Chain A
Amino acid sequence: MNFDAIVENLPKYVDGLGVTLKLLALSLSCGLLLAVPLAVVRTISRGIASRLVWVYTYVFRGTPMLVQLFLCYYGLAQFDAVRDSVAWPWLSSATFCAWLTFTLNTAAYTTEIIAGSIRALPAGEIEAAKALGMGRGLMLRRVVLPAALRRALPAYGNEAIFMLHGTSLASVVTLLDLTGAAREVNSTYYLPFEAFITAGAFYFVLTLSLVGLFRWAENRWLKPMMSR
């Protein structure tokens, strides 16, 4: 084992860490913002809207994220209309496509997680809100969403960790995230063990931090409402 080259290239890994964290934070936050209204539509509406949300989550959860990423980054370039459009500067950028794909992907999974926890809400909580004369919007804002989002925390923690691991796919479309940095170091020095173990160690620490963060969040928001 020869870690001298790795130490020399540590700045590359740190830059990669920044890219990974930026992609993760942007796609998780935008995905969550998208997922909350979709989950409400999915559970409350009985018509075509709910069915459309189902098709969206089914397709995104049924296909690999790598294929989705390729469809966005390489696939869209096939159409002249896309290449001539005002969105092309964005759609031709690997960073934008990675962010878009990751966001749509995590939003699909998160929608199902939140919809599941809305459906699993104790009937009594909703009946109590109705008995107090709350309208639908007020009930959603004050009762249903706060309770459902807290209960979704454990499953959402797993999804966040899956997304962290999923961001490594960004390296396949030329982005220099943590994995991309490791691949570059490997191809320059031909040190696969050292290069990928270092990246793995970074990811491991990130995973443990996410686990810790979600444990803290569960203690803060979920535990107090659980029956003792």
Chain B
Amino acid sequence: MLLHGFLPSLLEGAAVTMGVALSSLLVAAVLGLAGALAKLSPSRVAQALAAIYTTLIRGVPDLVLMLLVFYGGQIGINTLAPMLGHEDYIDIDPFIAGVLTIGFIFGAYLTEAFRGAFLSVPPGQREAGLAYGMSPRQVLWRITLPQMLRHALPGLSNNWLVLIKSTAIVSVIGLSDVMTRGQQAAGTTREPFNFYLAVALIYLVFTSLSELAFSWANKRLAIGAKEAKL
């Protein structure tokens, strides 16, 4: 067989990659939402914090941040833990380090995407909700958030496609993702080209399926939206 029986291993790795990507997306979406709300809030402090977050993160490569979190976090945790009465040496799990770093990075990009999307919801919608006696929280959950999602979709899909590809760098900190599995198989069989090509194809399948899913979601969420024909 072409892949010398390494296909199941590659597929397991692909599942890990998908796990990292989806978990990171979740972290990023939460951070992005918080960041966008902070940027749009009247509080100067919240605005400044969100501005620092998005500017700093977007100015540094993801690989450098990942190495900082993985190696730096290791030292940080093992300096802090004894102070809290924990004696054993703690190893940072590369999965957690990877998800937190990628989530943290894409949270900054999603902040910008969500901020723009919030601004595209006509202010009359929010005002109408308030006029009905809804609390600001109810207005957010029932009125602004569902409508903002449609405007956020293009930004979300672009960032998701970049995010999936970014997960490849978790292999550098030793997580057993599809890239690491490919490296192992390439080393064992001495057929690096075949295995890296297989890994590339797996990523291509992921990105192609994602694009299909997003174009479907785009149609779903646009139901009832007016479209001007030129």
Contacts and interface: CB of A to CB of B under 8 A. Distances in A.
Say if A and B assemble together.
yes
A138 interface: no
B41 interface: no
Interface stretch (B135-143, B147-155, B188-196): B188-196
Contact of B192 (A61, A70, A179, A208): A70
20 contacts: A59-B200, A62-B207, A63-B207, A66-B179, A67-B199, A67-B203, A70-B192, A75-B186, A75-B193, A75-B197, A77-B192, A78-B190, A169-B63, A179-B61, A179-B63, A192-B74, A196-B71, A196-B72, A203-B64, A204-B56
A71 interface: yes
B200 A172 contact: no
Given A67-B182, A70-B183, A199-B64, 20 more contacts: A63-B200, A63-B204, A63-B207, A64-B165, A65-B165, A66-B171, A67-B196, A71-B197, A74-B192, A75-B186, A76-B193, A78-B191, A167-B61, A172-B172, A179-B61, A179-B64, A196-B67, A200-B60, A203-B61, A204-B60
Interface in B57-77: 58-65, 67-68, 71-72, 74-76
B166 interface: yes
Contacts of A43: none
Contact of B203 (A62, A74, A161, A192): A62
Contacts of A167: 61
B215 interface: no
A50 interface: no
Contact of A186 (B71, B161, B179, B186): B71
Interface of B: 56, 58-65, 67-68, 71-72, 74-76, 161, 165-169, 171-172, 179, 182-183, 186, 190-194, 196-197, 199-200, 203-204, 207-208
Interface of A: 59, 61-68, 70-71, 74-79, 161, 164-169, 171-172, 179, 182-183, 186, 192-193, 196-197, 199-200, 203-204, 207-208
B105 to A, nearest CB: 10
Tell me if B's interface is mostly helix, strand, loop or mixed: helix
Contacts of B200: 59, 63, 67-68, 71
**Most interface-central of B165, B166, B200 (chain A CB within 10 A):** B200
Contacts of A183: 67
Contacts of B190: 78
A78 B193 contact: yes
* Closest CB pairs A-B (n = 9): A192-B71, A75-B193, A64-B168, A165-B61, A196-B68, A168-B61, A204-B59, A64-B165, A207-B59
A67 B179 contact: yes
Nearest to B187: A74
B63 A200 contact: no
